Chain A
Amino acid sequence: MRFKTFTSPHMSPARSVNRVMRQVLYALVPGTVAMAWFFGWGVLVNVVLAVTVALAAEALMLMARRRPVKPFVTDLSAVVAGWLFALAVPPLTPWWITLIGVGFAIVVAKHLYGGLGYNPFNPAMVGYVAVVISFPREMTLWLPPSTLAEMAFSLPQTLQAIFLGQLPAGLTWDMITGATPLDRLQTELAMDRSLSDIQASPFFGAVAGRGWEWINLFFLLGGLWLIRRRVITWHVPVAMLGSLALISGLFWLINPEVYASPLFHLFSGAAILGAFFIATDPVSGSTTPMGRLVFGAGVGILAYVIRAWGGYAEGVAFAILLMNMMAPTIDHYTQPRVFGKTPARKEG
């Protein structure tokens, strides 16, 4: 009788790209639904549009590069990139912006660098930054959360606004759009208003922007589930959110009328989404345990610096790209000790 013998490790890895990406997609669902609840159909339309564009661009580039199309398209990495892009842009973003942004992400940031596994920068964030700096006006046209909005857009109206740029009769863009809480904070602080004054407006909820705090809470839940499923490790989110809380807390203690509270910073913009879903990208981020802590801390601090003193109200995307640039260096200096070896000591 013959027994099949295996060499160690005696556990099935079964962690294909497809499986990991699928779990990331599951984890994105609660936050996305919450976002659609507060900002309407536009969020879902954007997700569908961005994912379609991402898959099409991915297939085209694979064909142009003479790579097998099916295994790479079905690994879902393009779907995740498109989805993340859609969550980053305003709900009524014109279709051509999504086309340019996602196309740029997949074609330039992913495939020109060599495809999945070779991209030094997170594709979704590259695409987002490309459209943010190219179309500053369109990218600030956020809607107010539905609880405050004058009217709710139905699905046909949303499609009309996104694909044809037409609003329902009697409405103008200025009437229906507003700034994000972070934008509002930045503009009004620049007008010398005090923070307590600004946060008294109905656009701010208990800790952060109304609606935004709930959206971020659901992204947090998705992220925690990812850690539980061991798709990501705790290092990057903890380091990033921890450093963001620490530095914003420090300035908040110094002057609470000018610097927003740590809770506001954690639950605004893309802090949570970035910490759990984007900065944890295994390709463009650090991979050593120590390196992940350094990487996350860097993202948190840079994001705060850009938010508090930079030209853009939200700095998470820029911070992640800047730290992507540092990741190889961080990895180089944070190589873990090889098991069974003591680190070489310098002769005193």
Chain B
Amino acid sequence: MSDVSYRRIIADGFWYNNPGLVQLLGLCPLLAISGTVVNSLGLGLATTLTLIASNLAVSTIRNWVRPEIRIPVYVLIIASVVTAIELSMNAYFHELYLVLGIFIPLIVTNCAIIGRAEAFASKNTLPRAFVDGLTMGLGFTAVLVALGGMREALGHGTLFDQAHLMFGEAARGLTITLVEDYRGFLLAILPPGAFIGLGLLLAMKNWIDDRLERRQARRREAVTLKEAEA
């Protein structure tokens, strides 16, 4: 198993096996918290950290944990990691912590994390597990931020609103107001907006995949034609 190439791991994490768009894991925080870009980024990075730490820990002990007890062991590892992250966020990003609220401790229940522990980290070497955790986490963050950006732009007419929650007071200027005096489109901010937005993102990904595949098929056809001619 340890012969998975890093290139493959990275491509899987960001695209072909993206937790948000393909595995559809961790949808609860994905849908609930993606109201703004900053919230999405905060939760995404916290999830990424959790994924890296839990993947590393699970990969380290993979040869000693008996399969019968692996699930409780994973849950304990993830829970401890999330607790540590929750406490540090409370200490260093207190306001963001308040905004994200219950969804920080709920990272424990994000199926993407235990899914990676079970499907990847428990079968692969330490560096590979690290890269997998990193790319899966960043892939998840990318989907969150894309969805958050869509909903914030449509719903509030801004981007990076309240950026100071994450990057400190200096980042207040980051806020981009797309439309002055925007009246707000509540549907995008309410839960239906999250579902519709995620659906559109999924459709877009499938559409791109479809086009790529068709282009490749055409290229293959051209190659075989040329060979036949030669």
Binding site for B on A (CB under 8 A): 100, 108, 130, 133-136
User: How far, in angstroms, from A133 to B187 measured CA to CA in the complex?
Assistant: 6
Given contacts A134-B187, A135-B186, 13 further A-B contacts (CB under 8 A): A100-B185, A108-B196, A130-B187, A133-B186, A133-B187, A133-B190, A133-B192, A134-B184, A134-B185, A134-B186, A134-B188, A135-B183, A136-B186
| Number of chain B interface residues as a range | under 10
A100 to B187, CA, bound (A): 11
Measured in the bound complex, the distance between the Cα atoms of B185 and A100 in whole Å is 10
Sample (15) of A-B pairs whose CB atoms are under 8 Å apart:
A100-B185, A108-B196, A130-B187, A133-B186, A133-B187, A133-B190, A133-B192, A134-B184, A134-B185, A134-B186, A134-B187, A134-B188, A135-B183, A135-B186, A136-B186
Complex contacts, A130 vs chain B, CB 8 Å: 187
Q: Smallest CB–CB gap between A19 and chain B, Å? A: 34
Task: Provide the bound-state CA to CA distance between A171 and B148, in Å.
Answer: 40
A133 neighbours in B (Cβ, 8 Å): 186-187, 190, 192
In the assembled complex, the Cα of A130 lies from the Cα of B154 at a distance in Å of: 14
Per-residue CB proximity of B182-202 to A under 8 Å, as 1/0?
011111101010001000000
For chain B, residues 184 to 225, give those with C-beta under 8 angstroms from any C-beta of chain A: 184-188, 190, 192, 196
A133 to B186, CA, bound (A): 7
Which residues of chain B have C-beta atoms less than 8 A from A136's C-beta?
A: 186
Q: Which B residues between 133 and 192 are near A, CB-CB below 8 angstroms?
A: 183-188, 190, 192
Closest to B196 in A: A108
Residues of B within 8 A of A108 (CB): 196
Q: Which residues of A contact B185 (CB under 8 A)?
A: 100, 134
Chain A residue nearest to B154 in the complex (CB): A134
CB contacts (< 8 Å) of A100 on chain B: these are: 185
The 4 A-B pairs of least Cβ separation, nearest first, read A134-B187, A134-B186, A134-B185, A130-B187
Distance (whole angstroms) from the CB of A306 to the closest CB of chain B: 17
**What residues on B are CB-neighbors of A135 within 8 Å?**
183, 186
Most chain B beta-carbon contacts within 10 A, residue among A108, A133, A134, A135: A134
Considering only CB atoms, which chain A residue lies closest to B193 in the complex?
A134
Q: How far is the CB of A219 from chain B (nearest CB, A)?
A: 28
A135 to B185, CA, bound (A): 7
Residues of A within 8 A of B187 (CB): 130, 133-134
A216 to chain B, nearest CB (A): 29
A136 to B190, CA, bound (A): 13
What's the minimum C-beta distance from B153 to chain A, rounded to whole angstroms?
15
B196 neighbours in A (Cβ, 8 Å): 108
Which residues from A are CB-within-8-Å of B184? 134
Q: How far is the CB of A127 from chain B (nearest CB, A)?
A: 11
Closest Cβ neighbor of B187 among chain A residues:
A134
Give the nearest-CB partner of A108 in chain B. Answer: B196
A198 to B24 Cα, complex, angstroms? 52
| Chain B residue, CB-CB nearest to A136 | B186
CA distance A22 to B113 in the complex (A): 55
Q: Compute how far the CA of A178 lies from the CA of B192 in the bound complex, rounded to whole angstroms.
A: 29
Shortest CB-to-CB span from A89 to chain B, Å, is: 15
Q: Which residues of A contact B186 (CB under 8 A)?
A: 133-136
Distance between A132 CB and nearest chain B CB, rounded to angstroms: 10
A130 to B187, CA, bound (A): 7
* Bound Cα distance A135, B190 (Å): 12
Nearest CB of A to B73, in Å? 41
A122 CB to closest chain B CB, in angstroms?
Answer: 16
The smallest C-beta distance from A136 to any residue of chain B, in angstroms, reads 7
Closest CB in chain B relative to A188 CB, distance in Å: 26
- Of all chain B residues, which has the CB nearest A100? B185
Task: Determine the residue in chain B with the shortest Cβ distance to A96.
Answer: B183
